[in-house]
Amino acid sequence: MKVTWVTIALVTGCGGDPDVPEDTGTSEQAERDVAWAALVEDVEGWLDYDSAVGLGFAVVLDGELAYSSGMGVTQYGGGVPVNPDTVFRWNSVSKFHTALAVMQLVEAGHLDLEAPATELLPDLSLSGTYDASELTLHRMMTHTSALPDFWLTNCDVELDDLWQTWSPSLEVEPGQLFNYSNAGWSLAGRLVEVASGESFTDYIQENVLAPAGMETATFDVDEAISGLNYTFGYDGVFYTPDIHDCPYVRPAGWLHASPVDLGRMAEVMLAGGQGLVSESSVDEITEMLFETGYASGSSYGYGLYTWEHGGVKVLGHLGGGAGHLSYFMMAPDQGFAVVAASNTSFFNPYALAERAADLFLEQDADWIAPEEYTEPSSWSEYVGTYEDPINVGTIVVSLNEDEKLYVRFEDGSNIDRRLYQYANDEFFYEYDGYVYIRFARDPESGAVRFFANRYFVGDQESVSENDSPPHSEEQVAEILREGAELELRGPERRPGPR
């Protein structure tokens, strides 16, 4: 596929029209132009293959949108050229937009980050050991709610209907484990609706997206396709914008917007909220609130991971789904941000964001990447029995005399699967694909306690002699297949899952 691209430099002002920059004659500007040209050249080379479809990206410098570009086309095999105003689907990059809506209502006194969800949703019903009174907005927005990351296949279910009819089981105490869960963000969006008296889509449009100057941004798919400049996703099959547009999951993702509009939101965040929320709310969203346990050493705020890139504190989030991948990254202390979205799952924009950070941020030459692998002789701390009474039953981890680690699911299959180290406490095994898992630690003692991924969590402290596998071998196999989504993602796997 021949790749075409359109570049616009120095977009001035939040919400301003993109213009060709004047020649300032400054060495700093010249250096930035060289860095931008290098980024464009690199990315153009990366996209020069048949699976490349379309890509839009923008860079913010000194808190202002500085450069933007569009490459490729809006639809695999055809469409029109992508430009910086082309609308992409951003998926989980949307999460911090939901956090902004929550923080607005917190500032107004309509929501409380630490209050039980049952104060506003008294009929909220959960099954299992722990109940809905354990759920708080803080836990929902830091992925520590312990709600399973599970979704219905019926995308006609509205947000309010889901939380009146779905009763997921809480078998792990909330607040103990970082475990990525879109369900927690869905519930946060439902609380936005109750507190504001409006639908989530209407509230966030009127109070977050429009005031930020995001002219193309919307959670309403019909609005997103009302114009002609939008993308179709591709991952081997086509995705029209309405595919998988599930109302109950919109607070966790599903934002449609252009790269320029995400750049405008970056301007707002870097300016301390710019009237959208207070500076203290921005600080809370971007604070390191809970350590993820990932090898990157990342923490999670409200919708954004925090980690170090070359000695510089950065925040970011990957978004993926329906044939789209996207990335948002910013370095608040440097007034820097980069946003990128592709309408193909064959190109991950994290590599673009990392390259932009290398080119535009001043790096610490003494920074050394953290060690990611440990000696097998230390793996005995993972050995033990873990119980997930809802999903996969008993999980047994063993270490043989050759210091090889194995996992067995006591579902009747009697198969020991070898665990391969991914990085530090993160491993994967083969089960109709690569299944990513990690051993998570008790936040107080630091001892290994959980065998976890987004689809099931085994807890050593819940093991009982009376526990038995909850499902047949075939049912457990299906749950494990759902977890077989580990992409050996290379550098873009940091700082965590999408």
Domains and CATH numbers, the chain: 1-366 (3.40.710.10), 376-493 (2.40.128)
State how far the alpha carbon of 285 is from the alpha carbons of 80, 249, 481, in Å. Answer: 37, 20, 34
Q: Which helix (H) or strand (E) holds 279?
A: helix 279-286
- 94: nearest Cα among 318, 263, 289, 277: 318
Do 392 and 476 form a contact (C-beta atoms < 8 A)? yes
Query: What local confidence, expressed as pLDDT, does residue 496 receive?
Result: 32
CA atoms within 13 A on the CB side of 442: 11
- 67: nearest Cα among 494, 268, 364, 359: 359
Residue type, 79: G
Residues 249 and 91: their CA atoms lie apart, in Å, by: 10
Do 457 and 149 form a contact (C-beta atoms < 8 A)? no
**E strands along 173-235, which residues?**
233-234
Do 304 and 284 form a contact (C-beta atoms < 8 A)? no
Which residue positions in the chain have pLDDT lower than 70? 1-25, 48-52, 150-153, 363-371, 411-413, 463-471, 483-498
Residues 223 and 208: their CA atoms lie apart, in Å, by: 16
State how far the alpha carbon of 415 is from the alpha carbons of 350, 411, 453, in Å. Answer: 36, 9, 19
Query: Mutual orientation of helices 95-107 and 182-196 as an angle, nearest 10°?
Result: 40
Tens digits of per-residue pLDDT, 440-493?
999 889 999 999 988 889 999 876 544 555 567 777 777 777 766 543 333 333
Do 379 and 405 form a contact (C-beta atoms < 8 A)? yes
Global pTM value: 0.89
State how far the alpha carbon of 162 is from the alpha carbons of 19, 43, 80, 168, 382, in Å. Answer: 46, 41, 38, 11, 37
Query: What local confidence, expressed as pLDDT, does residue 419 receive?
Result: 96
State how far the alpha carbon of 113 is from the alpha carbons of 137, 138, 141, 322, 400, in Å. Answer: 5, 5, 9, 31, 46
Query: What local confidence, expressed as pLDDT, does residue 461 receive?
Result: 86
CA atoms within 13 A on the CB side of 236: 0
Q: How many C-beta atoms surround the C-beta of residue 201 within 10 A? A: 20
**Virtual CA dihedral for 221, 90, 188, 283, nearest 10 degrees?**
-140
Q: How many C-beta atoms surround the C-beta of residue 117 within 10 A? A: 24
Residues 354 and 111: their CA atoms lie apart, in Å, by: 36
Write the burial class of residue 116 (CB in 10 Å: 0-12 exposed, 13-18 middle, 19+ buried). Answer: middle
**Virtual CA dihedral for 294, 300, 306, 307, nearest 10 degrees?**
-20
Do 461 and 444 form a contact (C-beta atoms < 8 A)? no
Query: What local confidence, expressed as pLDDT, does residue 8 receive?
Result: 47
Do 280 and 167 form a contact (C-beta atoms < 8 A)? no
Residues 78 and 47: their CA atoms lie apart, in Å, by: 15
Tens digits of per-residue pLDDT, 174-219?
999 999 999 999 999 999 999 999 999 999 999 999 999 999 999 9
**Which tokens in the block code for residue 134?**
């354990």
**Virtual CA dihedral for 150, 154, 158, 160, nearest 10 degrees?**
-40
Q: How many C-beta atoms surround the C-beta of residue 223 within 10 A? A: 15
Angle at 403 between CA 401 and CA 408, to 5 degrees: 85
Residues in the chain: 498
